[in-house]
């Protein structure tokens, strides 16, 4: 039985300008024990899909089940199996950190949960803030509390909607170590993030959403394998020759060119030299998930509706 099963999920919102289709026919099974990543640009539909999973929004069409429990008709059982870290920071500001976590435990009918609460506070670097009022916490600390809150009832499925947005480097690392350990111990993880390095390092399988369509679904290793194998990266202040600029990814002074092999790189360097482009800090690196993501997202929209197998 899959941990999470989305079956033909569509979601449309009524807006003054007519129906807006936020999700279109999404079908996806996440198996128990997977570390699964849901990627997509802003507005792609990730949070909408997670809201439907968490029972916070209703799908216009389709069904979602969590360990076999329908999220609508069997809400309590489905909800108990999930620990959801929402993207938005929402809190009752009158409680301190420990009270918030005790309340959340009570919501799931768990008393005497202090040992686990202490462990969560420790792993999330919150031990010294246990008695602080939520109003007194910084944005990144509030996000840590949200993570603790989601894990307080030891859910078998952990759903993280951009858990590391606004979180400092050190905590990102400790948070991922902690989540990876829970995953090793058997928890299923569903993650959305815009940090593609994190997704590449952590997730064994990925789905990509674009305008509410699923445009890729594959193992991370398969997605990486279908990318061009290398990227030539350099800095320049000069304009690129037309042939190269068509395929270049430019971020400020940094230029990145996809290359299949050494001959490609030789040709690119020769073209730069012939055009009189002065380059600095030249390096060759392996293509990464960000390259794959940008390729998938750059495809024309009419391909969006294609089936996954043919899209990747
Ligand atoms: N209540 C609503 N009414 C109308 N449109 C909505 C509503 N909620 C979400 N949307 C729209 O649905 C689309 C998907 O939104 P969603 O929040 O799921 O995106 P996302 O992939 O999570 O993006 P981000 O990376 O910015 O978090 C967006 O265009 C958004 O404006
Ligand atoms: Mg979102």
pLDDT at residue 172 greater than cutoff 50: yes
Residue minimizing CA distance to atom 6 of ligand 1: 13
Instruction: Give me 18's structure tokens.
Output: 């007519």
| Ligand 1 neighbourhood includes 19 CB (under 6 angstroms) | no
By three-state DSSP, how is residue 230 classified? strand
- Report residue 61 as tokens: 């069409």
299: its two tokens = 């495809």
- At 13-51, the pLDDT tens digits run 999 999 999 999 999 999 999 999 999 999 999 999 999
Question: Which residue is closest in CA terms to ligand 1's atom 3?
Answer: 13
Band of residue 306 on the pLDDT scale cut at 50, 70, 90:
very low
Long-range CB pairs of 292-295, under 8 A, 24+ apart, other chains included: 292/223, 292/224, 292/226, 292/227, 293/39, 293/196, 293/208, 294/249, 295/227
Q: How confident is the model at residue 89 (pLDDT cuts 50, 70, 90)?
A: confident
**Å from CA of 103 to ligand 1 middle:** 29
Indicate whether residue 307 lines ligand 1 (CB < 6 A). Answer: no
Ligand 1 center to residue 14 CA distance, Å?
13
Calpha distance 229→131 (Å, rounded) = 51
In this structure, the residue with its CA closest to atom 12 of ligand 1 is: 22
Could you tell which of 20, 41, 199 is best to mutate to test the pocket of ligand 1, judged by most ligand atoms within 8 Å of the CB? 20
């Amino acid at each position: 039985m899959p941990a999470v099963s989305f079956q033909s999920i569509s979601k449309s919102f009524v807006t003054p300008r007519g129906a807006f289709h936020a999700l279109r026919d999404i079908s996806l099974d996440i198996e128990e024990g997977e570390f699964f990543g849901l990627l997509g640009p802003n507005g792609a539909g990730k949070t909408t899909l997670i809201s439907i999973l968490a029972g916070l929004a209703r799908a216009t069409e389709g069904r979602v089940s969590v360990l076999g429990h329908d999220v609508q008709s069997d809400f309590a059982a489905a909800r108990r199996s999930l620990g959801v870290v929402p993207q938005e920071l929402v809190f009752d500001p009158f409680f301190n950190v420990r009270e918030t976590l005790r309340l959340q435990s009570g919501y799931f009918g768990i008393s005497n949960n202090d040992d686990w609460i202490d462990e969560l506070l420790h792993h999330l670097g919150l031990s010294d803030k246990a008695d602080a009022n939520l109003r007194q916490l910084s944005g990144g600390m509030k996000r840590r509390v949200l993570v603790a809150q989601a894990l307080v009832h030891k859910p078998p499925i952990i759903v993280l909607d951009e858990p590391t947005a606004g979180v400092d480097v050190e905590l990102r690392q400790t948070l991922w170590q902690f989540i990876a350990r829970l995953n090793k111990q058997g928890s299923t993880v569903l993650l959305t993030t815009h940090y593609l390095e994190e997704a590449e390092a952590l997730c064994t399988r990925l789905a990509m959403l674009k305008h509410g369509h699923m445009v890729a679904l594959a193992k991370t290793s398969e997605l990486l394998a279908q990318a061009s194998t290398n990227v030539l990266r350099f800095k320049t202040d000069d304009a690129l020759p037309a042939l190269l600029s068509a395929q270049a990814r430019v971020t400020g002074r940094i230029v990145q060119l996809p290359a299949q092999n050494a001959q490609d790189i030789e040709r690119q360097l020769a073209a730069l030299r012939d055009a009189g482009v002065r380059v600095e800090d030249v390096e060759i690196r392996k293509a990464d998930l960000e390259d794959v993501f940008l390729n998938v997202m750059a495809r024309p929209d009419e391909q969006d509706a294609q089936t996954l197998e043919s899209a990747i």
